[in-house]
Structure 1
């Protein structure tokens, strides 16, 4: 039994459960495997995720990828938050392969995290890897730590944004991005 499995077994016991009952026999093993997957973002790097998928381009107009689904675990309660990420950037001689945006989101989402920091990490990663003139990231999520416990507000939604470069300095650029993602 791995240490993580052992700890899940101990948690179940502390909750008053019988880890020998049929329904829980393999739960510590499954929970440990699930947690390793849900936090697999610690194992990757930006370079591995992008895997060289940066291509020369003379396009200098805004590129927007929206509705990238994600889930993460809040670092305060280890409960899920689930939502969508919208990314826009202004290329500067290079464009990033489309699927790499989703992989970058997952790299940071699959860590114990807060949404505010994750939004910034994604924006900085896109800027670093592409050398773009500017990037905007907007994330919208529902947080189970607010919905399942505490104030128990089922319809609450958190929205965060980070604007870098031209997206921060130019109101028309920011407005175009917001309009394209429907905000």
Structure 2
């Protein structure tokens, strides 16, 4: 079962991590210890003694996107493409993020296609953009819009299509507990935006 959502053009503006007062590492570890106790555990038992440190370290990796600028990966383009002007598609980019409502993971794949205007960007850079935005607390809708906005703003392609498919653990582990439900979000700009044929071409290439 798939839910399909089309995102808006501009994602909401959020404060950057560098603008916020970041707690000390010791404060983060103490917060984890409090949560363990609240959940009914004994945070001082042997198996949990190092858990606060491990969680804090894991969070540094899982949410490292707050301290990276995705646009840095889009500044270098290549104009010598032998006259190529057709669609460029990077399909099946795996990603994992965390729902900002429950801080539970959602995992899926992203598909990005664009029609070059002044040049192309390295294919791995599109995956980097997805990684950076996904390593923040997110909704899938906002994640899709952020990825599309960053690419559209810096590459200025003739058209851009972004599609994300993911399964949300906040639906499978809690609440309605419905495993196997995937959510699909899309964002189209330029020639893709109001052209059903171009959108169908994109979908056909994605589905292979």
Query: Which of the five TM-score ranges fits, normalised by the shorter chain?
Result: over 0.9
CA contact under 8 A between 1:59 and 1:93: conserved in structure 2? Answer: no
| Deviation beyond 6 Å, 4+ runs, structure 1 | none
Report the Cα distance in structure 2 between the residues aligned to 1:72 and 1:83, rounded to whole angstroms.
9
Corresponding residue to 2:128 among 103, 123, 128: 103
Count of paired positions? 182
Structure 2: unaligned runs, 5 residues or longer: 1-24
Report the Cα distance in structure 2 between the residues aligned to 1:22 and 1:48, rounded to whole angstroms.
44
Partner SS state of residue 192, structure 2: helix
- Give 1:179's aligned residue: 204
Partner SS state of residue 73, structure 2: helix
Alignment of 1:41-60 (within 5 A): 41-50=65-74, 52-56=75-79, 57=81, 58-60=83-85
> Which of the pair has the greater relative contact order for Cα pairs under 8 Å at 6+ separation?
2
Q: Mean Cα displacement is larger for which, 120-129 or 83-92?
A: 120-129
Report the Cα distance in structure 1 between the residues aligned to 2:97 and 2:167, rounded to whole angstroms.
10
TM-score, length of structure 2 as denominator length: 0.84
Q: Mean Cα displacement is larger for which, 76-85 or 127-136?
A: 127-136
| Deviation for aligned residue 1:171 | 2.1
| Deviation for aligned residue 1:125 | 1.1
Corresponding residue to 1:138 among 163, 179, 182: 163
TM-score, length of structure 1 as denominator length: 0.95
- Are 2:37 and 1:13 aligned? yes
Report the Cα distance in structure 2 between the residues aligned to 1:96 and 1:49, rounded to whole angstroms.
9
Report the Cα distance in structure 1 between the residues aligned to 2:186 and 2:148, rounded to whole angstroms.
9
Partner SS state of residue 2, structure 1: helix
| Deviation for aligned residue 1:175 | 1.4
CA contact under 8 A between 1:71 and 1:81: conserved in structure 2? Answer: yes
Q: Mean Cα displacement is larger for which, 65-74 or 172-181?
A: 172-181
